[in-house]
Amino acid sequence: MFVDPGAKELIDKLTIRVATLERQIEGLIERLGVDATPIGAVDSGSGTDDETLALVREGKTADAINAYRAATGAGLGEAKDHVDRLKSEHGL
């Protein structure tokens, strides 16, 4: 897909770096106990959880994470943690 192999390597490195920074920020938010809801984000109410849980039950974990992110504005790490928590709560 990429013409320049160096470009793909750079994108891969940046993707890893962004994921690392998201985890660090989430840790700080948790430690400080602040509300970090993104401005303009949709509330992650039960409707969002119902949709997310339905995808998990269909074995579509990645789709569930992406749907949760789209609905709430959550970062990748936060969405994955949320989906993992739903899976655990529902024995999936």
Grouping H, G, I as helix, E, B as strand and the rest as coil, residue 70 is: helix
Same domain, 15 and 58: no
- The pLDDT tens digits of the residues spanning 27-51 come to 888 888 877 766 444 454 556 778 8
The rounded distance, in Å, linking the Cα atoms of 37 and 71 is: 12
- The pLDDT tens digits of the residues spanning 59-82 come to 999 999 998 888 888 889 988 998
Q: What is the pLDDT of residue 51?
A: 85
The rounded distance, in Å, linking the Cα atoms of 66 and 64 is: 5
* Count of domains for the chain: 2
Whole-structure pTM value = 0.50
Residue 87's domain spans which residues? 41-92
Q: What is the pLDDT of residue 37?
A: 64
Same domain, 26 and 49: no
Same domain, 32 and 65: no
Among 88, 89, 47, 38, smallest CA distance to 68 is for: 47
